[in-house]
Structure 1
Amino acid sequence: MQSPLFNHAEQQSQERYVVQNPQLLRVSLAGQDDILARKGAMVAYQGLVDFDGEYQSSNQRRTRSRTGEGLDLMRCSGQGTVYFANLAQYIHVVDVDQDGMTVDSAYVLALDSTLHTEVIAVDSQYGVSGTGKYQLNITGRGKVALMTSGQPLMMQVTPDKYVSADADAIVAWSSGLRVQMQAQTHNASVRRRRGDTGEGWELSFLGTGFALVQPSEVMPPQNAAIGQGIAAQYGVGGNGAHGQNQGNVWS
């Protein structure tokens, strides 16, 4: 049999994490350190590999229930090669060092089991729980595979050049950065978006580090018919945009 499809054969590499193509991740297991991956993200594997649901402590379950932030993971162990993907999103491998990384858990595809994760609160000058209020802090040494809808933009943050990003487009940033959440609005109600611009919550970053932004917003356009009621209008709760779009992909 002949076909151009054979041009997409698996890559040969000694690296543990390999981006097979922009939307497919290849991870090698050597029977030592396990991989934690998003539940259901495996699309193929070779060798003797076991997949087990990752245990969540009662504290982790309470935190997930209270904040909506956390990881639904499976543990991959054994010897072989595993391929991961999620809704054909673009995949990027990041080395986490002592500085740590803060990320929205919805964008995590896989990570080394040696890394530590913790849910943290992002500062809000209004004290309103909304988009970006809680995020996942990843510390230790290891690799994390992130996903974005489209090719992302990596922005450098320096003491003399701070960066602001839409809270629905930001993917990850250096944990050492100072972060403030604010609403771009001139209305008395901070839940209402400013005029007809469609712009709402944003995160401002100060210090030294990076901010990773994707060319897509989790929330649909302001007048999109997603869910029902006031919660749907502002993208809040299970009836809102986030509740209807757990994969962060809008077509």
Structure 2
Amino acid sequence: MQSPLFAHVENQSQERYALQNAQMLRCYLDGSNDILARKGAMVAYQGMVDFDGEFQGHARRSRQRQAGESLELMRCSGQGTVYFANLAQYLHVVEISEPVTVDSSYVLAMDSSLHWDVIAVDSQYGISGSGKFNLEITGRGKLVLMTSGKPLMMAVTPERYVNVDADAIVAWTSSLRVQMQSQTSSSGVWRRRGNTGEGWELAFQGQGFALVQPSEQLPPQNAVIGQGMAAQFGMGQQGGRGQNQNNIFSNR
């Protein structure tokens, strides 16, 4: 049998994490360090590899239920090679050395040495696709993120703050200050979101990075901050031209 398909042979790298291609991850298990991966993400494996559900304590599960943010993982152990993928999304291996905040939807795999937990992005308002709860991943090790399409990594510095659509953000440095705002102006208030089609956005300040994907959910249509028409349409204090009072959440 002959076919151009035979050009897509296995990556022979002995690195712990290597991309077989842009949308498939190759993980090498040496028998000593386990890998945590999203449940159901295994597409193939070789060798003596065991897969088991990752135990989570009652306290963590309770926080996840209350927050509506969870990360269902399996533990992969043994010796061999495992291939992971999820809906043909683009994959990115990240070396973690400082805390990172990320939506659980974008996590594919990580070193078992990393610690993760659900944190409140300190706000009483659950508005954006990123939600008011996210995951904070701490420790030292490697994390594999997923994006819909090829992403953009934006540097944030004290002199250069960055605004990101709340439904396109994937992850950010946890030390950044985060503020939510709407760019709807009062002149277009009678048309939903004005005439821009844009919804809520996150403004990042400090020193770090923000990872953005070229895909977003529909603007949240039930976002309400404050009361009345001003709250529903982003006028006044809630608008991008206001003082942004009562629509701020911070992870500091």
Q: Shorter chain as normaliser: what TM range?
A: 0.7 to 0.9
Structure 2 residue identity aligned to 1:33: N
* CA deviations over 1:112-153 (Å, ceiling 9, x no partner): 0110102112244xx312222111110100000000000000
Structure 1 CA distance for aligned equivalents of residues 195 and 125 of structure 2: 22
Structure 1 residues 81, 107: closer, same or farther in 2, change over 3 A? same
Structure 2 CA distance for aligned equivalents of residues 185 and 120 of structure 1: 29
- TM-score normalized by the length of structure 1: 0.82
Look up the match of 1:249: none
Structure 1 CA distance for aligned equivalents of residues 40 and 72 of structure 2: 10
* CA deviations over 1:24-66 (Å, ceiling 9, x no partner): 0000001111000000000000000000011121111111111
Look up the match of 2:197: 198
Say which one has the larger Rg.
2
Structure 1 residues 197, 102: closer, same or farther in 2, change over 3 A? same
Structure 1 residues 178, 73: closer, same or farther in 2, change over 3 A? same
CA RMSD, Structure 1 to Structure 2 (Å): 2.0
- TM-score normalized by the length of structure 2: 0.82
How do 1:89-108 residues align onto structure 2 when only pairs under 5 Å count? 89-97=89-97, 99-108=98-107
Q: CA deviation at 1:198?
A: 2.0
Structure 2 residue identity aligned to 1:15: E
* CA deviations over 1:156-202 (Å, ceiling 9, x no partner): 00100000101110001111111122333346xx9x95213221121
Q: CA deviation at 1:80?
A: 0.3
How do 1:118-157 residues align onto structure 2 when only pairs under 5 Å count? 118-124=117-123, 127-131=124-128, 132=130, 133-157=132-156
Structure 2 CA distance for aligned equivalents of residues 27 and 235 of structure 1: 40
Moved more, 178-187 or 47-56: 178-187
How many correspondences in the alignment? 219
Structure 1 residues 123, 197: closer, same or farther in 2, change over 3 A? farther
Structure 2 residue matching 1:63: 3-state secondary structure:
helix
Q: CA deviation at 1:235?
A: 8.5
Structure 2 CA distance for aligned equivalents of residues 183 and 118 of structure 1: 29
Look up the match of 1:166: 165
Gap runs ≥5 in structure 1: 223-231, 237-251
Structure 1 CA distance for aligned equivalents of residues 36 and 160 of structure 2: 36
* CA deviations over 1:55-81 (Å, ceiling 9, x no partner): 121111111111111210000000000
Structure 1 residues 165, 123: closer, same or farther in 2, change over 3 A? farther
Determine whether 1:9 maps to 2:6.
no
Determine whether 1:79 maps to 2:79.
yes
Q: Alignment identity in percent? A: 68
Structure 1 residues 92, 52: closer, same or farther in 2, change over 3 A? same
* CA deviations over 1:10-31 (Å, ceiling 9, x no partner): 1111210001100000000011
Structure 2 CA distance for aligned equivalents of residues 100 and 210 of structure 1: 12
Structure 2 residue matching 1:64: 3-state secondary structure:
helix
Structure 1 residue matching 2:87: 3-state secondary structure:
coil
- Check whether the contact 1:184–1:193 (CA below 8 A) recurs between aligned residues: no
Structure 1 residue matching 2:65: 3-state secondary structure:
helix
Look up the match of 2:33: 33
Structure 2 CA distance for aligned equivalents of residues 123 and 11 of structure 1: 43
Look up the match of 1:113: 112
